[in-house]
Structure 1
């Protein structure tokens, strides 16, 4: 958390996540935001469970990150459409997180993603103390910041280097590696939740798509079906071999009987 202070910030006792609003009362700007967040979370969960076998991590989906005290409190928060923080407890005092409060936890997200609904100017706004880009870069400090535009089928990725965001160049697969997670982020053209769209998805560093639970189940079902078909074919071949052996045996018996 930055040491910079805003003159308008009130000097009051620091509240925690149970005392701060969990929503600013605005509607989700497009229907795709919710399934897109689920897709990202579902497919990367097995990776995060391997990285954090003790379960010490947090994923936020349109969850507020409080970075300063304001009146009203909601003005002191940014709510990325999706973010991940490692090495923090999933619950606080036995309660589900209502928000992520920087002055309570201090650990910055590794990655924050914004899903563009309008023209993208809000997500690229560098106005001090107000613009999303400025707040992420100068205060919240996620190591990676992504701006995803479904209408353009693009994701613009930045990495925090020397206190400033540097625009990243995609690799040969058109993906952006996040090596500390062992994953890449990019655009996948396909059907998810009955919608054919350019979805934001994860791959491993070898370029293999990370599957959702439903996709993994479907893949396992197809594998089991192939195994069943292969076993059935083996059984049919064995039966054909047995019948052929029986015919050969019968022919030999007839020949022996004819020679007597």
Structure 2
């Protein structure tokens, strides 16, 4: 086992994502975690595709970030509920990522999000070498760290500034600017997957909610339905105009006046 205080200088023997466990054997802590992760991924994907035209980025959902070698290996990993890493390939050697191995790729996630299931102490734990907050701030160092509490309908967002995390203030909309992604993060009270909750969601810089694929399809359906209704109304107005013209023509002819004249 490698000592955390004396890390080796030769990284070649370190295992890769195919050799490390892809699960720590624990259950998901609450039902909402998976829908929440899908909601974040689905709605941000069009933005990330525009930011990374080469497709070089990856999203992790309850996926391990290995930051040190331990025995057992999973003790040296943190598994954020959701994270985004720019400028890395989505696949490794043609294989789906089983984990994100920090000592092989060196690029920190741009943002890490934790969904609180308990009292939030675990996500705010600053105990050296053990606490989530300490590991994110002192070792992995994502530019942004968010702590989302569905029970409180709130999210705390920290930005890595000057070697430590500083709590970001919310803007006038109650959102938090994630400038490198060109989006804002905040709470949306609404219905997703048939459940009404204060969901964690993205907005663009103009304050427009970033929609999921289903929401975009529904919006297009409503737009098409509105266009159909407008076309039907125009058709009815034209029909009524023709009927009025026909009645006027009949009245003129009954008076011995030929309309064409």
TM range (shorter): over 0.9
Provide the residue aligned with 1:139 in structure 2: 139
Structure 2 unaligned residues grouped into runs of 5+: none
Which aligned pairs between 1:161-240 and structure 2 lie closer than 5 A? 161-240=161-240
Q: Deviations over 1:16-63 (max 9, x none)?
A: 100010000011000100000000000101101111122111000000
Provide the residue aligned with 1:105 in structure 2: 105
Q: Deviations over 1:179-203 (max 9, x none)?
A: 1111100000011111111100000
SS, match of residue 151 in structure 1: helix
Distance in 2 (alpha carbons) for counterparts of 1:190 and 1:257: 65
Note the aligned Cα RMSD (angstroms). Answer: 1.5
Distance in 1 (alpha carbons) for counterparts of 2:121 and 2:257: 95
Q: Deviations over 1:149-172 (max 9, x none)?
A: 000110011000011000111000
Distance in 2 (alpha carbons) for counterparts of 1:148 and 1:58: 21
* Count of aligned residue pairs for this structure pair: 254
Give 1:257 deviation, angstroms.
5.6
Once superposed, which parts of structure 1, at least 4 consecutive aligned residues long, lie more than 3 Å away?
A: 7-12
Distance in 1 (alpha carbons) for counterparts of 2:51 and 2:250: 65
Provide the residue aligned with 2:53 in structure 1: 53
Contact 1:9 1:70 in 2 (8 A): no
Provide the residue aligned with 1:6 in structure 2: 4
Q: Deviations over 1:117-162 (max 9, x none)?
A: 0000000000111100000001101000000000011001100001
Provide the residue aligned with 2:94 in structure 1: 94
Distance in 2 (alpha carbons) for counterparts of 1:164 and 1:257: 91
Distance in 2 (alpha carbons) for counterparts of 1:169 and 1:257: 78
1:22 aligns with 2:19: no
Distance in 2 (alpha carbons) for counterparts of 1:32 and 1:168: 25
Give 1:251 deviation, angstroms.
1.6
Q: Deviations over 1:60-84 (max 9, x none)?
A: 0000000010000001100000000
> What TM-score comes out, normalization by structure 2 length?
0.94
Give 1:9 deviation, angstroms.
6.3
Distance in 2 (alpha carbons) for counterparts of 1:91 and 1:122: 31
> What TM-score comes out, normalization by structure 1 length?
0.95
Distance in 2 (alpha carbons) for counterparts of 1:181 and 1:173: 18
Provide the residue aligned with 2:65 in structure 1: 65
Provide the residue aligned with 1:152 in structure 2: 152
